């Protein structure tokens, strides 16, 4: 019975990791699109009015993807609870290293900006 539960949990974990990756990739690609449109418009010498609606809609897509990311993160948390409930709390699922990914340079810069020197 434990073997079957573990097998099912690994399948769920695999699907979860794929969903997380897909959302992150979609978010990154949509952010890139949103950022490149004004640059290319400017490079083409077009008026700032050109493409404004497209930029706004792409920005709305980013917000929707951010909400989807929040929901999948909450799903991950809930599945961690389920993992414990079915007796697999100490089992590490395939692909889940348990390590936090290295902090991106931009994230470090944002965090460092808020630091103050203590006197």
The pLDDT tens digits of the residues spanning 8-61 come to: 999 999 999 999 999 999 999 999 999 999 999 999 999 999 999 999 999 999
Quick one: average pLDDT of 84-93?
A: 77
Secondary structure letter of residue 96 according to DSSP: -
For 95: left if phi > 0, alpha if psi spans -120 to 50, otherwise beta; the answer is: left
Residue spans per domain, the chain: 2-113
This prediction has a pTM of: 0.71
The per-residue pLDDT for 89 is 78
Distance between CA atoms of 30 and 61, rounded to whole angstroms? Answer: 7
In the chain, the N- to C-terminal Cα span, in Å, equals 61
């Amino acid at each position: 019975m434990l073997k079957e539960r573990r097998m099912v949990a690994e399948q769920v974990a695999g699907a979860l990791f794929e969903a997380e990756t897909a959302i992150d990739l979609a978010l990154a690609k949509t952010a890139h699109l949103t950022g490149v449109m004004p640059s290319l418009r400017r490079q083409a010498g077009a008026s700032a009015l050109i493409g404004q609606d497209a930029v706004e809609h792409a920005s709305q897509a980013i917000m929707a993807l951010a909400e989807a990311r929040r929901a999948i993160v909450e799903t991950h948390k809930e599945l961690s609870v389920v993992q414990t409930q079915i007796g697999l709390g100490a089992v590490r699922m395939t692909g889940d290293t348990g390590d936090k990914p290295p902090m991106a340079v931009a994230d470090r810069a944002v965090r460092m900006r808020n630091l103050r020197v203590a006197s």
